Structures are given as structure tokens and as C-alpha cells.
Amino acid sequence: MLKRIGVLTSGGDSPGMNAAIRAVTRSALSQGIEVVAIEDGFKGMVEGSMYLMNTRSVSDILYRGGTILGSARLPEFKDIEVRKVAVAKLKEFGVEAVVVIGGDGTYRGAMALTDMGINCIGLPGTIDNDIVSTDYTIGFDTALNTVIQNIDKLRDTSSSHHRCSVVEVMGNKCGDLAIYSGLSCGAEIIVTQETGYDEQEVLAKLRELDMNRKKKHAIVVISEKITDVEMLAAKISKATGFSGRSTVLGHIQRGGSPTAFDRVLATRMGDYAVELLVKGIGGHCVGMVHNEITSFPIEEALAMPKASRKALFALHQRLI
């Protein structure tokens, strides 16, 4: 019978992490299992930065962005000697199993700990939607809505000045924030790792939109790490009839109160993680597939091929 579990958030933060912490805590407490908060991800685990929570510890956090536990990156956690210190600290605090909320790096840490006898369950907490074993990650929907609100504003002002706004969005190597926001805002051009980037093609398309289609403005949504958007905007001003402007949305995408979708997702996933631990399962990650909450062994999840968004890109092309 499981007596005490831990919960932590790790990697980049995402809106909805708090809702997940609350669900894990309240779900465990309702079953008579104690919950220890582990601060700053695996760093707090190694340093013994932990405290026992009660039901009030997670009051008033469901709707808050960020993470009350803090998050950190600790590359040294890949070293087994460092993980041995973490396991000793967990034992000292009587923590038998842990729910970790984060991205794929966090999942690798969870798998390594499970191999050392501490059952861990991973929850997908990242705005990037880059975890293949779930249709949606916790925080993606909120970040998407933040992107959309900002692009809508840019469109208003672009339209008044015959501008082309180049908007860089996050996503790491995953283009979902770009394709979903581009579709939601009717962006004229969407560039992701999957579409590939051809600067001359982008400029030619913009000239066509300006001269033949008489567009008043244009929006180019582009995933981060593809090109320098400031330079692209300057080239647009030179080579097309639009005046180019670049906007890097940056960390604003990580903040804000989670949407209803993210709150419900986090709540369902948090509860399910506890259910798995109670069953004695470790080394799994929770996902939502076709609206069902399910789980996969982390190793299997990390090896899954990334889903193509070809159909969404084709839809976007048809409607522009």
C-alpha cells in the first residue's frame, strides 16, 4: 500500500502545471496517500528541497499560470551518481513514488529513476505540444490562445499600414503552435520545420498577394529556430510592396491563466497519474488520445514517430 508520493515540475513551465499539481495532490490525499512537494524539479530532489503538503497547500492555484513548485534544469541528473543522491533524499523523506510534470527530458529523468526503484509517472507539461504520445500537452491550448490574441492585434495595425507582420512563435522543433495559430488567424503564410523554409518562395508569395490579390496586409507565422525574423522583415520591405515588421512573441507565450481546456486536461491527467501509481505502475507517461486519458511506457512514447500536419497545411493552402 502506497503511503507517500512526491510531485515536481521540471523543464520549461507551462500554464496548467498548477492544475496538475492540485489534481495529483487532492487525488492522492483523497485516497489516504500523503504528498510531498519537490521544489525546482530534479534539482530540489537532489538537494532535499521538499515539504509535506495538505489539501490547503494547493488551494487557489488551479487558475494560476506558472508553477508553485518552481522548475529548473539539472543536466547533471543524467549522471547515475547524482540520481543516487536523489534516491537517498526521497527515501529520507519517505517518498516512494513520484509524479513528474514536464517535457521529454523530464520523462527521461523519470524513466531513469524508475529503473532505480522509484516508480515515476510523467505528465506532459509543455506549451510546445511536442510529446507524441498525447494529442495535446498541458499548456499548449493556453499558449495557442495567447498567440492568437497577439496576432489578431498585429493584424489590425498591419492592415492600416499595408504591412506584413512576421510573427515568430515557440514550439521548439514542433510546428504545432505555428500551424494551429496560423489556421486560427488566417495567416497568409505558415513556416515550420515540416514545411521547410525557402526565403525566395516566401517573398514571391508575398509579391503575389500584394500585386495580384491586392491584400491590405499579410501575416507570416514562423516557428522559432528557423530564420532571423528581423532580417526576413527587412527583406520583405525591400523585395515586396509590403512594409515588413517582425515580432518575436517569446516568453509571453508561457504565461497566463490556463484555458478551460488545459485545466480539465491537467485535472484528468493528474488524477490518472495517481491511479497508475496506486496500481504499482512506474515508468509510464500519461496522454490523451482521442479524448481518452491513457498511458504508455515512457520508452515506447519517446520512440513514437511525430504525427505529420500535412492535412492541416493543405487545408490552410486551400483557404488562403
What residues are annotated to the active site? 128
Rounded Cα distance between 181 and 307, Å, is: 17
Residue 78 interacts with ligand ATP (CB under 6 A)?
yes
Kindly state the smallest distance separating residue 200's Cβ from ligand ATP, in Å. 33
Q: Is the dihedral of CA 133, 136, 140, 144 positive or negative?
A: positive
Please tell me the count of residues contacting ligand ATP according to CB under 6 A. 19
Residue 106 interacts with ligand ATP (CB under 6 A)?
yes
Q: In the chain, count of helices (H) and strands (E)?
A: 11, 11
Kindly state the smallest distance separating residue 46's Cβ from ligand ATP, in Å. 9
Rounded Cα distance between 61 and 201, Å, is: 47
Q: Is the dihedral of CA 221, 225, 226, 227 positive or negative?
A: positive
Kindly state the smallest distance separating residue 138's Cβ from ligand ATP, in Å. 11
Burial-class residue 311 by CB neighbours within 10 Å (0-12, 13-18, 19+).
exposed
- Joined together, the cell numbers standing for residue 284 give 509510464
174-213: contacts with ligand ATP (CB under 6 A): none
Q: What is the DSSP letter of 226?
A: S
Residue 81 interacts with ligand ATP (CB under 6 A)?
no
Question: How far is C-alpha 75 from the geometric centre of its chain's CA atoms?
Answer: 19
Residue 77 interacts with ligand ATP (CB under 6 A)?
yes
Residue 139 interacts with ligand ATP (CB under 6 A)?
no
Q: Rank residues 28 and 143 by Cβ distance to ligand ATP and give the closer one.
A: 143
Kindly state the smallest distance separating residue 96's Cβ from ligand ATP, in Å. 20
Name which of 294, 273, 19 is nearest 133 in CA terms: 294
Fill in the per-residue mask, 21 to 50: x = in contact with ligand ATP (CB under 6 A), - = not in contact: ---------------------x--------
Give Cβ neighbours of residue 75 (< 8 Å, ≥ 6 apart): none
Kindly state the smallest distance separating residue 131's Cβ from ligand ATP, in Å. 8
Are the C-beta atoms of residues 16 and 265 closer than 8 Å to each other? Answer: yes
Q: Segment near ligand ATP (CB under 6 A), from 48-56, 75-83, 248-256, 268-276?
A: 75-83
Residue 258 interacts with ligand ATP (CB under 6 A)?
no
Residue 112 interacts with ligand ATP (CB under 6 A)?
yes
Q: Rank residues 152 and 299 by Cβ distance to ligand ATP and give the closer one.
A: 299
Kindly state the smallest distance separating residue 73's Cβ from ligand ATP, in Å. 3
* H, E, C per residue of 240-291: CCCEEEEEECHHHHHCCCCCHHHHHHHHHHHHHHHHHHHCCCCCEEEEEECC
Q: Rank residues 92 and 299 by Cβ distance to ligand ATP and give the closer one.
A: 299
- Residue 215, helix vs strand vs coil: coil
Binding residues vs ligand ATP (CB under 6 A): 10-12, 42, 73-75, 77-78, 102-106, 108-109, 112, 126, 128
